Structure 1
Amino acid sequence: MKTLYLVRHAKSSWDFEDLSDHDRPLAKRGRNDAQIMGQELLDRKIKLDLLISSSAVRALSTATLFAKELDFDPEKISAQEELYRMGSEEMLFFVQSLPDEYSYVMLVGHNPTFTELVNLLAPEKSIANLPTAGVAGFSFDVEYWSQATAENAKLLFLDFPKNYR
């Protein structure tokens, strides 16, 4: 059994016009939402073996806040530049390429990729937009990540910060 959590980065700040998109930080609401959602995942007794984040500042900050709430060492977060630019098909291939020794994996990234991937893996629960700090949990009844497909994905939950405001 493999379990995947897709987390869209929390709300970013647009206060710094001179920063590149990659370097935008989290807004105050984003920091609060990430902590709330991390606590909600902790309440669900979520465990992680691996946490991979886009290298964008807002994604990495979101990953760090989730890690702290989930008692996952932030130093073990893997920041990967390619998650910043991937489309949904590439992201599914990335999931299928995950190391098999990890069963519980969280990816922190961006839209539209994450909304498209949620809709690819759970077409019966099609969503227009995975909100900032939104989380989608999936299980795959497989032994190897390479076997994870849309056909064997099971949506465990979709959760959003507005559910707790």
Structure 2
Amino acid sequence: MIVRHAKSDWDNAGISDFDRPLNHRGFKSASEMAQRLHKKGIVPQYLLSSPALRARTTASIFAETLNLAGPSYNQSIYEANYPALLHIINNLPDAYQFVALFGHNPGLSDLLYNLTGQIYDMPTCAIAVVDFDIDSWKEVSGGTGNISYYDYPKNGD
């Protein structure tokens, strides 16, 4: 599952990009999207997030709503491009069959498009569940995935 962080706050010019928090709409959207997953029974086994504050917060809201352990963090997700994100996916533990990856654009949109050939732009807090017919995360590569679920907050980007 690929999840773009919820809407962040651009109002405080003194905060670095890495430390930007979610804004009010971001908190609301993250909670709403996690609840939608919960109602549909779409619950990943493991959450992996960028350590940037807006992604960390989004992942934590999902963990709490879905009754999961808190997310793990990987610095390489922050500002990652498609090849870097694919490398992270290829190195996921095979003990998990369903992993949620929380990160940023444009990398996540590029990842989704390259894995599936579908949907090029993910708005904030968009969720895409991608299915693979594989035995190991190492087998994930371009064009090997199919989107089985896609949703995003309807309040715009």
TM-score, normalisation: structure 1: 0.90
* d(CA) in 2 for partners of 1:106, 1:148: 15
1:86 correspondence with 2:102: no
Superposed CA RMSD in Å reads: 1.5
Residue 73 of structure 1 deviates from its aligned partner by 2.2
Q: Percent identity?
A: 37
Residue 14 of structure 1 deviates from its aligned partner by 1.4
Residue 94 of structure 1 deviates from its aligned partner by 1.1
Structure 1: any 5+ residue segments left out of the alignment?
A: none
Structure 2: any 5+ residue segments left out of the alignment?
A: none
* d(CA) in 2 for partners of 1:139, 1:100: 15
Give the secondary structure class of the aligned counterpart of 1:18. coil
Please list the CA deviations of residues 16-50 of structure 1 after superposition, one character each: whole Å capped at 9, or x if unmatched.
Answer: 21110000000000000000000111122112221
Residue 151 of structure 1 deviates from its aligned partner by 3.2
* d(CA) in 2 for partners of 1:39, 1:53: 19
* d(CA) in 1 for partners of 2:106, 2:24: 23
Correspondence list, 1:109-120, <5 A: 109-120=103-114
2:101 equivalent among 107, 115, 119? 107
1:162 correspondence with 2:144: no
Give the secondary structure class of the aligned counterpart of 1:89. helix
* d(CA) in 1 for partners of 2:119, 2:11: 33
* d(CA) in 2 for partners of 1:149, 1:157: 19
TM-score, normalisation: structure 2: 0.94
1:8 correspondence with 2:4: yes
Give the secondary structure class of the aligned counterpart of 1:31. helix
**Count of aligned residue pairs for this structure pair:** 156
Equivalent residue, structure 2, for 1:31? 27
1:97 correspondence with 2:91: yes
One-letter code aligned to 2:44: L
Give the secondary structure class of the aligned counterpart of 2:154. helix
Give the secondary structure class of the aligned counterpart of 2:100. strand
1:51 correspondence with 2:47: yes
